Amino acid sequence: MIQRPRRNRLNPAVRELIRETAVRPTNLVWPAFVQEGSNLRVPIASMPGVSKLSVDQLVADCQRAFDLGVPAVALFPALDDSLKSSDGKESVNPDGLLQRAVTELKKKIPAMLVVTDVALDPYSCDGHDGLVRAGKILNDETLPLLAAMAVSQAEAGADVVAPSDMMDGRVEAIRRALDDAGFEDVLICSYCAKYASAFYGPFRDALNSAPKAGDKKTYQMDPANAREAIREIMLDEEEGADWLLIKPGLPYLDIIRLTREHSALPVAAYQVSGEYAMLKAAAAEGWLDYESCLMESLTSLRRAGADIIFTYGAIDAATILRGAGFAAGRRV
Ligand code: PBG
């Protein structure tokens, strides 16, 4: 035999030397849930290991993540139902929970990037990402609200605003509003291809943000479609997005690859709540090894073309990576 592919897998030194894809803590964004109160960590039942954190606890965990090399946190506020309204006006309250959390984080850990979510759902009593009238999700009427929300987040200190609402034209509306307010250095991470996925279930439990009526299929994309993603990629790029995010992650590796091939912008993948919950649930049964499967899934997202990965396992992964290092001299 002349061709023996196994020679390239002979030992750790050979394998490390020819490895094509690496996951580094610096590739990761840690999504975190913030709530009112102090010294509070409220576990989310469907996301073992993830809690809703009061601001002081959030700062402590972000410091841990940052010290492990994770450069960014993505914040999601868990609001009391009494603050939710049909126009989501709490989203622009300068003293709102999210705004206070952002300001405190930037004060305590100035070098860590804070990413904020732009969408109405955590603030809306309808549980939709846009304004609802007579069962219809309004597009153009929602845009000024999203733009105002992004400006409010930037005023609080957000480095990156991440519209996850899938309204048409929102990246341009947000870019204009940010620039008009003097925030031309605030980045936009656009959820450009966000699918109408059942994998968001645990996240909606955490925020109690599931739609009260109907579903999100008139704005989030049909899981059956890939060509449609190309159109979204091109529009968001034209409208001024700095990063393109694909969501969910592992079930949509082909879309991540497609995005990588159709744009020169950095590509982000979001390993969503349901993906994380699956790993944790199987591990709890003793059916999968959580750490190995987490690292394998992150490697796969990187191999598909993601520069950046949003993952609830960011702190776990960074901890694992710290212990790994170059392994050729050791048996791994
Ligand atoms: C809503 C939003 C969702 C997620 C992030 N932003 C849920 C949804 O669209 O219903 C999901 C994240 C996850 O499941 O981890 N704007």
* pLDDT tens digits for range 262-293: 999 999 999 999 999 999 999 999 999 999 99
Which pair of tokens denotes residue 225? 């479609």
- Which residue, 128, 151, 176, 171, is CA-closest to 265? 171
The pLDDT score that the predictor gives to residue 324 is 76
pLDDT value at 47 more than 60? yes
The pLDDT score that the predictor gives to residue 331 is 40
Query: Annotated catalytic, 247?
Result: yes
Q: What is the CATH number of domain 21-327?
A: 3.20.20.70
Average pLDDT for residues 134-163, to the nearest whole number? Answer: 97
Whether the CB of 91 sits within 6 Å of ligand 1: no
Query: Annotated catalytic, 216?
Result: no
Residue 246, Ramachandran bin (φ over 0: left; ψ between -120 and 50: alpha; else beta): beta
Whether the CB of 121 sits within 6 Å of ligand 1: yes
Q: How many whole angstroms separate alpha carbon 55 and alpha carbon 57? A: 5
Average pLDDT for residues 133-159, to the nearest whole number? Answer: 97
Per-residue pLDDT tens digits for 156-196: 999 999 999 999 999 999 999 999 999 999 999 999 999 99
DSSP 100-162: HHHHHHHHH-TTSEEEEEE-SGGGBTT--SSEEETTEEESTTTHHHHHHHHHHHHHHT-SEEE
The pLDDT score that the predictor gives to residue 207 is 87
Other CB atoms within 10 A of residue 332 CB = 11
Reported confidence tier of residue 330, pLDDT bands at 50, 70, 90: very low
DSSP annotation of 89 reads G
Reported confidence tier of residue 326, pLDDT bands at 50, 70, 90: low
Probe residue for ligand 1, chosen from 203, 217, 272, 276 as the CB with the greatest number of ligand atoms within 8 Å: 203
Q: How many whole angstroms separate alpha carbon 319 and alpha carbon 68? A: 7
- CA nearest ligand 1 atom 9, residue: 200
Per-residue pLDDT tens digits for 75-86: 999 999 999 999
**What mean pLDDT value characterizes the chain?**
96
pTM score over 0.85: yes
Element spanning 321, H or E: helix 314-324
Whether the CB of 119 sits within 6 Å of ligand 1: yes
pLDDT value at 327 more than 80? no
